Each structure stands twice: as structure tokens, then as C-alpha cells.
Amino acid sequence: MLDFNTIQNVYFLGIGGIGMSALARFFNHSGKKVAGYDRTCTDLTNQLVSEGIAVHYTDDPALIPSGWDPGNTLVVFTPAVPADHQELNVLKNSGFSIHKRAEVLGLICRAHKTIAIAGTHGKTSVTTMTAHLLKSSTVDCSAFLGGISKNYGTNLLLSETNSDWVVAEADEFDRSFLHLHPQQAVITAMDADHLDIYGTHESVIESFNQFASQVAPDGLLLIKNGLPINPEILQSHRCLTYSLHGPADFYAVHIQLIEGAYQFDLVTPDGIIEKLVLNYPGLMNIENSIAASAMALNAGMTPDELRKGLPEYGGVKRRFDRHLQTPEFVLIDDYAHHPEELKATILSVRDLYPGRKITGVFQPHLYTRTRDFADGFAASLDLVDQVVLLDIYPARELPIEGVTSEVIFNKIQNPNKILCNKTELVGLSATFDQGVILMMGAGDIELLVGPVKQKLMERTHV
């Protein structure tokens, strides 16, 4: 068991990851000396540097801070770091205490009452919403977020009142979430994903059920209505359900879209909370807010605090992120990278902008995910009016023979489809039809949002 009291230094391998950077900030705020390596320089790593954290971008053991002793230094790494990483192997051979990010997060959370949000999609939004609601109430919390909150400009929130609540995103990748034993938990979805890790959808479901079994029996397990939770868990734990529409223990009624904001009443086991307002777009975000509200209410937030806090929610960077809205063009950037996420995002755009033409620009993420879900991606992309498909973003993977974006492209039924690379996209955007331009993906497509926005602004009259 790690003893955080004896740790003076913390070194991160992969410090620029969204989960890793939150831990780095936590230890930095706790008075530890923090440094780390990452493969690329990003806005996030630059922010870490501005907060006093040393970051370098070359795998060179000579750049590990000198004088850091194995007896008082913790090394944290992410599974994305390859086994032949020079710094990782030097640290291992030098006797340093080396732990996965998920394990360290689990140990931090064990010292608090934890609300963990899991699911193959939707978890970052629900985590950030839950944290915001509690921060806006007398309950308060600390939080480890899987994205950058627009309300707070960070992925780490610290309690200002010594609240015992911690909100944490529970990531299923590499079975990381099995390090968490929360007081409360949400499971938003159990779709097949990360099959390079799990092998089968059945194995994904089994792992989520293991996570569900680790929730405190006297706590709360909130599940999206219809998910396959083992009956013995339902009997041994306090389990409630949620959905956008009933039947469920928590659901919305009287949903209205009024001047870009949603108003609805929330049905709960304790009665109806009327006239809640969500200023963040997308029907999927109403559903996310239902789960977040259930968590916050169960942690002690009052209905009146919920009415005040929910309209102030500003969203998460790259989650239905509107960059441009003119009579000619709307530009939305979204992190969607799974077929179900694409479907939810596109249908939310249809609901918000009825009658507008939608051009969907998608960058597939990972060769394995492209191979495993080509049919699903094609079916979701057929929901837009025009498809622009970029090359695969490899992330941690090496190429797989025969797996390219064309695997998806050839399955898309819509004849209005274009295959292009990143360097061609900005020029191509000068030809996009007026309407909604929806850019989606978990890779580096976000770097193209600014240049595409500039092209679209050159064609607008505002």
C-alpha cells in the first residue's frame, strides 16, 4: 500500500493525458514536487508547465530529475506507454515505486466518499455535471474529470470546504475502473468497445458488472435503464435506474426547447422537481443531467440548489462544443469516437437544428476500433447529409494490414461522401454547403477546428 505521507516527488510517464494531468495537478497542489514526460507538447502540457510542473518531450533517462530517491518518489505511468520505453525501464531497474494511473486514483479515492461515473460513452459529461452541481451547492466536492470543464477551466477540482466527496471518472480501458470502490456510481452504457483489451462484448459486460459489485452495498448504484446488470448485484445493492424518458426511477417529462435552452421536469423517487433548465445543447445532455442530478441529490444537494446550479453548467471542452453560429454556418466539435456516440451526437444536432443540412466530418480513432465497428460507424454516418471521412488516428496502435478509413467509407450508403486526409480538409471546407458542420473524433481533429472555422467565417455575412 502506498503511503502518500512519505512521498516527496511524483514523476509521470504520459503526463499530458487527461487523467494523468489531473493527478499531476493534485499532487502539485498537495505540495509534492512533480515532473513528467509526454510524447507531444499540447495546450494541456503547456498549462502544467505554467503551474510549475517540469515537462519534457524526449524519451531520455538523463532528463529524469536528478536527486530524486526511490525511497520518496512515486512513478505513475499510463498503459499507453510502450514496454520498451527507455525511461520506464530505467526507473524499474532503479527500484522506484511504479504504479498505474488507475491504481493511484483508486488509492486517493479510498480515503474519501467517492462518486464514480462509468460507461462506454457519456461518462465525462456526467462526471463534469455531477461535480459542477456539487460545487454549486453546500455539499461541495473534489473531482478528477476526464475532460476540461468550461466552468472551471481545468480537469481537477479541489474542495474549498474539506468536503469528503470526490467525483471521479471511472475508465473501463484496461479495466482501470476496477481500482475504484465507490460509495455511489453511475453506469451510462455497456456497449462493445476496447475489444483489443476485452476480446468480446461479453467480457466488457462482465467487467462492468465487476465494477458494479464494488459499489458500497449501502451506497447507490444508478444504471441506465435496460443495461444487463447481474440479478445478484441488483439484490445485494441499492440500485436505481434512469433514462431520458420513463419508465425509470429518474426521468424527464415536459421537455421543451426554448430559445436554445431545454426546460423539463425531473421525476424522482421522492417526487417531481419542476422547471429545471439546461443551457447546454443536445437531448443526450438532458439524459446526462438526469444521471448527474440523481447523484448530486443523493449526496445531499437540495432541489432548490439543483434548480440554481443546473442552468449554470457550461459543458466540457470537445463535448458538443459550438465554435461558430451564424445564419449560414454552425460549427460543432465533438469527441464522439464510438458508433453509439456518433449516433447520439448527430440526432442531437437534428433535434437542435431541424431542417438544417448536416455535414459530418469524422476522424476514426484506432485501427482496432475501425476494424471492429466499421458497420456501426457507417450506419451512424449515414444519418448526416454529407460525410467527410479522414484517415485513421492511430494513437497507441501500429497499423493493421487492410484496415484504413476505406473500410468504413465503402460501407456508407449515402452517395454524398468524400474521403480526404487532414491536409486537404481546410481547403475542402470552403466548398461545404451551408448548414451544420459537425466535426467528430478522439484524435487530433480538434487542431483543424480553428482553420475550418476561419474558412467558414470568410463565407459568412456576419
Cell numbers describing residue 81: 506507454
Place of cell 465487476: 210
Q: Residue 96 phi/psi, 5° resolution?
A: -75, 150
Q: Is residue 197 part of a domain?
A: yes
Residue 451: asked if its preceding bond is cis (omega within 30°), the reply is: no
CA–CA distance, 19 with 34 (Å, rounded to integer): 15
Using DSSP, state whether 421 is helix, strand or coil: coil
pLDDT band at 281 (very low <50, low <70, confident <90, very high): confident
At 250-268, the pLDDT tens digits run 999 999 988 889 999 999 9
Q: How far apart are the first and last CA of the chain?
A: 60
Cell numbers describing residue 78: 499510463
- Together in a domain, 88 and 178: no
If you compute the radius of gyration of the chain from its CA atoms, what whole number of angstroms results?
22
Residue 438's DSSP bridge partners are 332, 360
Place of cell 484524435: 443
Place of cell 512513478: 75
Q: Is residue 2 part of a domain?
A: no
Residue 167's DSSP bridge partners are 115, 143
Q: Is residue 353 part of a domain?
A: yes
CA–CA distance, 102 with 146 (Å, rounded to integer): 13
Q: What pLDDT does residue 461 have?
A: 67
For residue 221, give the amino acid letter: L
- Together in a domain, 333 and 236: no
CA–CA distance, 414 with 208 (Å, rounded to integer): 35
CA–CA distance, 442 with 335 (Å, rounded to integer): 5
CA–CA distance, 211 with 209 (Å, rounded to integer): 5
| Residue ranges making up the domain that contains 39 | 9-99
Q: What pLDDT does residue 1 have?
A: 58
Cell numbers describing residue 402: 487492410
- Together in a domain, 229 and 286: yes
Mean pLDDT of the 283-300 span: 96
Q: Is residue 29 part of a domain?
A: yes
Q: Is there a contact between 403 and 372 (Cβ–Cβ < 8 Å)? A: no
Helices 18-29 and 43-50: angle between axes, nearest 10 degrees: 0
Cell numbers describing residue 205: 459486460
- Together in a domain, 284 and 354: no
At 381-429, the pLDDT tens digits run 999 999 999 999 998 788 999 999 999 999 999 999 999 999 999 999 9
- Together in a domain, 256 and 340: no
- Together in a domain, 118 and 259: yes
CA–CA distance, 10 with 31 (Å, rounded to integer): 10
- Together in a domain, 163 and 25: no
Cell numbers describing residue 175: 479495466
At 37-58, the pLDDT tens digits run 999 898 899 999 999 999 999 9
Of 226, 214, 154, 230, which Cα lies nearest the Cα of 189? 226
Q: Residue 78 phi/psi, 5° resolution?
A: -110, 150
Mean pLDDT of the 311-334 span: 94
Total tally of structural domains belonging to the chain: 3
- Together in a domain, 385 and 451: yes
Using DSSP, state whether 90 is helix, strand or coil: helix
Query: How much is the mean pLDDT over the chain?
Result: 94
Neighbour tally for 437: CB within 10 Å? 27
- Which CATH number characterizes residue 340's domain? 3.90.190.20
Mean pLDDT of the 304-333 span: 95
- Together in a domain, 332 and 428: yes
In the chain, the largest separation of any two C-alpha atoms, in whole Å, equals 64
pLDDT band at 131 (very low <50, low <70, confident <90, very high): very high
- Together in a domain, 154 and 266: yes
Q: Is residue 234 part of a domain?
A: yes
- Together in a domain, 64 and 117: no
Inform me whether the pLDDT recorded for 146 exceeds 70.
yes
